[in-house]
Chains A and B, each alone.
Chain A
């Protein structure tokens, strides 16, 4: 029993220590941000490697989440005689919640861990040390472009996820479950609000994007320069990012629900 307590305490204090280091790292990045916008090529290369290459996964996920959502909610809606609202219900869920959250989680798994491994490997093979010795600032050159690329990519991926999700809902709802197409779209227009739903969703995915990118570059850049260190950095990125996403989701959803 006491081992359990002791291990929990160690994990917690390690978490707290990492958190402090993490904050300092984040502040270190700030001054580089304005300058980085003058190097669009580096950012563009990173958008390719983390955004474009995550596209297929995101679209796949979006489509099937949409279809499942439609199938799942159909039963309940039929009971309440609100089948026509299928589209509206699903659209709201996608745009507010599922799009931002699931797209960000997929991103953390695919791109976050890739960035962490890449940076960790560069650290382990002395590439970062070599850069420093060549008087090139590795933060400016490798870390910041990846960070910015993540912030740009995640909201876009969330929007794509939601849109493809809507396609899935439409195909299942209208063509499979015979919901009336006109009612389907009209209810969506009536119910989904620009600022409340879409605005919140986009804001959330922006926050998630910052978290995922920051975690990935932080873990990778500060990984122990050994093979074990690199793989640990990748795993930690996925786990910690996912936890933060779910936590932020709770906070942001709770505080922006109308009427609360």
Chain B
């Protein structure tokens, strides 16, 4: 094999290694600290009157720590409520059945996420269970409207 042929082979080999290495690097950056893509998870459902701008893949947090992601959002045509499905990491399988799920906002302009407050019951939520106690998103417009209404009635008195 001539020198140039060998040189070419080496460069091509290095190039491909560099490329694959980059891909692997990017893969490691794409795996979240929850690593839901490779951990076991179970599903829970919750229904809300209003979800605000809650999106798919929004975090589900317990005490402020992300333990899951929203996996599906749908609306029930009969009941006129939104049904949200989310995946919870199987390490957190001890959530009591009276856990409270509310839609909270991250920071002032942040996105919506689901905040879980555990209750005190002995029984725990199983896969595919529904959380009974929910609070819908607080919409800024409603808040402002209420505020204005209150100040109007206050000034009326």
The interface residues of chain B lying within 8 Å CB-to-CB of A80 are 109
- In the docked arrangement, what's the CA distance between A258 and B57, Å? 9
The interface residues of chain A lying within 8 Å CB-to-CB of B151 are none
The interface residues of chain B lying within 8 Å CB-to-CB of A185 are 29
A190 CB, nearest partner CB in chain B, Å: 5
Interface size bucket, A side?
Answer: 35 or more
Contact A156-B30, Cβ < 8 Å, known A81-B109, A193-B57: no
B residues 51-78 in Cβ contact with A at 8 Å:
55-57, 59, 66
The interface residues of chain A lying within 8 Å CB-to-CB of B110 are 82
The answer to whether B12 touches A47 (Cβ under 8 A) is yes
Tell me, yes or no, whether A171 is within 8 Å of chain B by CB: no
- In the docked arrangement, what's the CA distance between A47 and B10, Å? 12
The answer to whether B55 touches A258 (Cβ under 8 A) is yes
The answer to whether B29 touches A160 (Cβ under 8 A) is no
The answer to whether A44 touches B12 (Cβ under 8 A) is yes
The answer to whether B20 touches A156 (Cβ under 8 A) is yes
- In the docked arrangement, what's the CA distance between A82 and B49, Å? 29
Tell me, yes or no, whether A128 is within 8 Å of chain B by CB: no
- In the docked arrangement, what's the CA distance between A186 and B32, Å? 8
The answer to whether B31 touches A156 (Cβ under 8 A) is no
Q: At the interface, is chain B mostly helix, strand, loop or mixed?
A: helix
A residues 46-95 in Cβ contact with B at 8 Å:
47-48, 51-52, 55, 80-82, 91, 95
Tell me, yes or no, whether B143 is within 8 Å of chain A by CB: no
The answer to whether B22 touches A162 (Cβ under 8 A) is yes
The answer to whether B27 touches A51 (Cβ under 8 A) is no
The answer to whether B12 touches A194 (Cβ under 8 A) is no
The answer to whether A189 touches B32 (Cβ under 8 A) is yes
Tell me, yes or no, whether B80 is within 8 Å of chain A by CB: no
- In the docked arrangement, what's the CA distance between A68 and B14, Å? 28
Tell me, yes or no, whether A259 is within 8 Å of chain B by CB: yes
- In the docked arrangement, what's the CA distance between A45 and B2, Å? 13
The interface residues of chain B lying within 8 Å CB-to-CB of A188 are 29
The interface residues of chain A lying within 8 Å CB-to-CB of B3 are none
| Cross-chain contact of B30 among A81, A193, A258, A259 (Cβ < 8 A) | A193
| Cross-chain contact of A159 among B26, B33, B66, B108 (Cβ < 8 A) | B26
- In the docked arrangement, what's the CA distance between A52 and B144, Å? 60
The interface residues of chain A lying within 8 Å CB-to-CB of B155 are none
List the 10 shortest-distance A-B pairs measured between CB atoms, nearest first: A156-B19, A159-B22, A163-B22, A194-B30, A159-B23, A192-B30, A48-B8, A52-B15, A160-B22, A52-B11
Q: Can you spell out 24 A-B residue pairs with CB atoms less than 8 angstroms apart?
A: A47-B16, A48-B15, A52-B12, A52-B14, A55-B18, A95-B26, A156-B20, A156-B22, A156-B23, A159-B20, A162-B22, A163-B26, A166-B29, A185-B29, A189-B32, A192-B29, A192-B30, A193-B57, A194-B27, A194-B30, A194-B37, A196-B57, A202-B23, A258-B55
